[in-house]
Amino acid sequence: MSSLWWWALPVLLLPILWHRQKREQTRSAPLASARFLPVAQPKQLRVWRWNDPLLLLLRCLLLAALIALLADLVLPWRGDSVLVVPGTPAALVDKEAAALPDARRIALPDRDAVDWLHAHEREFKPEARLLVVGDIAMPATLPRFRHAVRLRAHSVAAARAERHVAVFSTRPEAWRRLFAAPQGGVRTVIDARPGPKTALVVWDLPEAPPATLRAPLWWVALADHQHARVFPELAHAVRVGAIQYADSARGRLWTMDAWPLADADGARALLAAWERLAHPAQPWTAPPMTMAPDAAAPAGPAGGALRELLSIALLVLFALERMLAHVRRR
């Protein structure tokens, strides 16, 4: 949509026309004996000459920069590339990249290579070949690109995850039993002291926690009358099923009427809820495939790669134009 702004380029003709010298009279000199010469038509020479060429140049550049900014100019500068999904072994990348020896390697921010490629496809030259290596997330629909793209997907066995929990309670054994309940592929480590890796703090003490203690999730196991004193945010807690939650400066707070310290099903449901919050479902690995370039593929969304540069250029050009115009007027 923003590329429609390129149709505004004829606006550049305006300063060019404004700066054109309106008309140029034939340069004439006085000559006493001119009366013996034949009369010539006083020629309005339509010379193509512009006054203040520097100002004209600045104004044209200003307009061009503005249009480029609005049209979200993206210059194709990337050639053959190997896109590497994070976590892919280097040996695997080297093996797959042998087909494109001169290709630059680009480390992707996450597994969703197709999404990234859609967003950045305009940065690639038309003849560029792309190879994506790693544990690529499978897209919902078959992707279409304007470039030749090969997906070389290799699923990587997910490392056994660890979660660190800090328990502040007068009944730590009961909590330990809760976390010992089997959870698919996730091991829970109960730390004596909370650290930077701590994902969950269990607060089962009547006094207020230290002000510096922060964690993404807090389980608050206090009687209701103690909430107002220790965690005043829980007064406005929202109930979802058995769990009430509220957000505080320390992190998200969960509380329940009855913590399922002795109930195996309740404990499983609670841990599954925590698992869903901390680790949403991971997409499947996309199958290996080769996609031919499709010229009709929709262009990616706004690139914005040059937006900052163009904005600065616009500002500088505007300032220069104003100054020069002011100087010329004096």
Residues forming the site for another protein (CB under 8 A): 26-43
Number of alpha carbons in the 13 Å side-chain half-sphere of residue 58: 16
Q: Which helix (H) or strand (E) holds 132?
A: strand 129-134
Is the CB of residue 93 less than 8 Å from the CB of residue 111? no
Residue type, 297: A
Residue of 176, 141, 183 whose CA lies nearest to 162? 183
- In angstroms, what is the minimal distance from the CB of 36 to another protein? 4
Q: Which is nearer to another protein, 36 or 48 (CB)?
A: 36
- In angstroms, what is the minimal distance from the CB of 44 to another protein? 11
The C-alpha atoms of residue 99 and residue 131 are separated, in whole angstroms, by 9
Q: Which is nearer to another protein, 26 or 282 (CB)?
A: 26
The C-alpha atoms of residue 185 and residue 161 are separated, in whole angstroms, by 7
Burial of 253 (0-12, 13-18, 19+ CB in 10 A): buried
Q: Which is nearer to another protein, 29 or 159 (CB)?
A: 29
- In angstroms, what is the minimal distance from the CB of 46 to another protein? 16
Q: Which is nearer to another protein, 29 or 281 (CB)?
A: 29
The C-alpha atoms of residue 56 and residue 301 are separated, in whole angstroms, by 34
Q: What phi and psi values does residue 18 have, to the nearest 5 degrees?
A: -65, -35
The C-alpha atoms of residue 247 and residue 232 are separated, in whole angstroms, by 11
- In angstroms, what is the minimal distance from the CB of 42 to another protein? 4
Q: Which is nearer to another protein, 38 or 195 (CB)?
A: 38
Q: Which is nearer to another protein, 30 or 184 (CB)?
A: 30
Is the CB of residue 256 less than 8 Å from the CB of residue 218? no
